[in-house]
Structure 1
Amino acid sequence: MTDPVLNRAWLTQDWSVNAGAPRLQLMLVLFRLAQALRRPFDRRCRIIALPIVVLYTWYAEALCSVELPVRTRVGPRLRVRHGFGIVFNDACVVGADVEVRHGVTLGNKVEGGACPTLEDGVSLGVNATVLGGVRIGRGAIVGAGAVVVHDVAPGVTVVGTPAKPV
C-alpha cells in the first residue's frame, strides 16, 4: 500500500468502481483528500487538514452512515455498495479491489486488540462481521451475515456464524 499523496490519481482512485453512486464517490474523494492532508503529521498539515477531516467525518458518518477513520490503511479501488451501517476500525488493513456492502463491521474483539487484514479482491456480504487479528485471503468471499473470527484462505467462500468454508 502506498502512502497518501495529494494528486488527482490518489483522490479519484475509487471513483470508477463506485460509478452510479455519487454520494459514495464524494465520500471516498473526501476520505483520500483527508488522508493526503493528514500526512506528514506535523503541526502545519494538521491545521490545513482539520476542516477537511471534520467535513469528511461529518459527511461520511451523518450522510453516508459509514465509519471509515482517516488513519485506516485502504488500498485502491475500494467499492462500497449502499454504504449504510459500515464500520471500519482504524487499525484495519484493507487491500486493493475490496468490496463491502451495507452493515459490514471490521473491528477488534477487545479494545486495543488486533484488527482484521483484508487482502486484495476480498468481497464482504451484507452484515458480515470480521473480528480480531484475522487475515482474509486474496479473492475470498465472506457471505451475508457471516461472523469471521478465524483466518480465511485465499479464494475460499465462508458463510455462517461462526463462518465456515462452503
Structure 2
Amino acid sequence: MKQSDLRRDWERNRVSVKSLFIILFFRASVWAAQRTNPAAKLLGLPVRILYKFVVEIVMGIELPDRVVAGPGLAVFHGVGLVVNARTILGSNVTLRQNTTIGSKIDGGLPPRIGDGVSVGANCVILGDIEVGDHSIIGAGTVLTRDCPARSVVHGPKAQIREPG
C-alpha cells in the first residue's frame, strides 16, 4: 500500500480513534497476508492473528484481511459489521454498524461496491451484484440487485432512485 493511500485512510478516519485503529490494523494485516517470502509470511503471522482476535473477536467486526479495499475506506461505529472475504470495495467507501455484505449462498459471489459509496447502518447487501460509484445505500436497506452510479437506495425493498 502506498503512503498516499494510507494518508487517505488517515484523513477519512481521523475523527474516531476506534475507526482509525480498525483501518490501520486492517491495512497492516492485509500487508502481512500478501507477503510471498516464507520468512516475511512467518513474521507477519502474529499481526494477522492479533488482528483477527482484536477486531473480530473483541470488537465484533468481521473485515477479513482478504477483502480488496481501495484507499480511503472508512468504518464508523463498526460493531456488527460483516464483510465477505471476497468482497471488492472501491476507494472512499464508508461502512456503518450492523451491516452485512456477502453472498446469497455458500460459495456464491459477494457484491462489488464502487468508489465513493456510503452504506448506512443496518444494511444487507447480498449476491453477485454491483453497487455503482457514488451511490448512497440508506439505513435499513436490503439490496439484492445492481444499482447504477449515483443512485440513492432506501428501504427494506431497496427502492432505487436513479440520478436525474
Q: TM-score, normalised by structure 2?
A: 0.91
- 1:84/1:102 contact within 8 Å kept: yes
Which residue of the partner structure matches residue 61 of structure 1? Answer: 56
| Alpha-carbon distance between aligned partners in 2 of 1:11 and 1:155, rounded to the nearest angstrom | 26
| Alpha-carbon distance between aligned partners in 2 of 1:9 and 1:59, rounded to the nearest angstrom | 26
Which residue of the partner structure matches residue 132 of structure 1? Answer: 127
Percent sequence identity is: 32
* 1:94 and 2:89 matched: yes
Which residue of the partner structure matches residue 78 of structure 1? Answer: 73
Match of 1:106 among 101, 104, 116: 101
Cα distance per residue 1:92-132 (max 9 Å; x no partner): 00000111111111000111101100000001111111000
Displacement of 1:14 in angstroms is 1.4
Displacement of 1:12 in angstroms is 4.9
Instruction: State the one-letter code of the partner of 1:15.
Output: W
Displacement of 1:16 in angstroms is 1.6
| Alpha-carbon distance between aligned partners in 1 of 2:35 and 2:124, rounded to the nearest angstrom | 32
Displacement of 1:11 in angstroms is 4.6
Which residue of the partner structure matches residue 143 of structure 1? Answer: 138
- 2:19/2:74 contact within 8 Å kept: no
Structure 1's 52 and 13: CA in aligned 2 closer, same or farther, altered over 3 A? farther
**SS of residue in 1 equivalent to 2:9:** coil
Structure 1 portions without partners, runs of 5+: none
* 1:49 and 2:37 matched: no
Q: TM-score, normalised by structure 1?
A: 0.90
